[in-house]
Amino acid sequence: MPGPISTVNSNFPLILGFGLAVGAVTVGVWGAKGSRGLNGIRTIRKLRGFGGPTEIRELQLFCENDGDLYRQQMQPIQKNLERKLAKGNYDHEKSKKLWMYLADNCAKKYVKEFGSEGQPWHKMFSTSDRRAVAAAFADDFKQEHEHRARHGVTPGGRSR
């Protein structure tokens, strides 16, 4: 019978730990210092299977469905951009920067509600993911405005 130290591969020793704590049994597996983890898996992120598109969609849905963010930030951004469109000085690339402020605040709030304690918000959603969310919001806003202009509907939903 092997002792508490066994090996999966000859170069990867595992230390199996068993503990008993007030009515619960815990089992732990620790790799040797300097190892890359079990079976060469480097991060838990790869184990979860989350990638860019999943995180982008999750953040976008969270932004769209959070009442406080919608009322306090999304509506003012939309009104600001509608004024710029009416004046004729709307710049789509600059609007992406404006939507980026919303994406950053959404990521911060998401991590505060669903993240682990001490987890930095910018690690859960990368800059490229947040930029993609901002670009999606900017593109959606532009498409919605073009659709309303084609069909003669004002921003309040009334026909002209």
pLDDT of residue 51: 55
Stretch 117-131: mean pLDDT, rounded?
Answer: 90
> Is residue 123 domain-resident?
yes
pLDDT of residue 159: 55
> Is residue 76 domain-resident?
yes
Same domain, 131 and 56: yes
Same domain, 60 and 36: no
pLDDT at 119 exceeding the cut of 70? yes
pLDDT of residue 142: 94
Same domain, 58 and 31: no
Helix axes 127-151, 75-87, angle to 10 degrees: 50
Per residue in 19-49, pLDDT tens? 444 444 444 444 344 444 444 333 444 444 4
Domain count across the chain: 2
- pTM equals 0.64
Confidence of residue 156 (pLDDT cuts 50, 70, 90): low
Stretch 106-124: mean pLDDT, rounded?
Answer: 90
CA gap 52, 129 in Å, rounded: 6
Least confident of 35-44, 83-92, 147-156: 35-44
CA gap 43, 13 in Å, rounded: 19
Stretch 133-137: mean pLDDT, rounded?
Answer: 97
Q: Domain range spanning residue 104?
A: 49-151
Same domain, 99 and 146: yes
pLDDT of residue 3: 52
Whether the CB-CB separation of 4 and 29 falls below 8 Å is answered with: no
CA gap 104, 124 in Å, rounded: 11
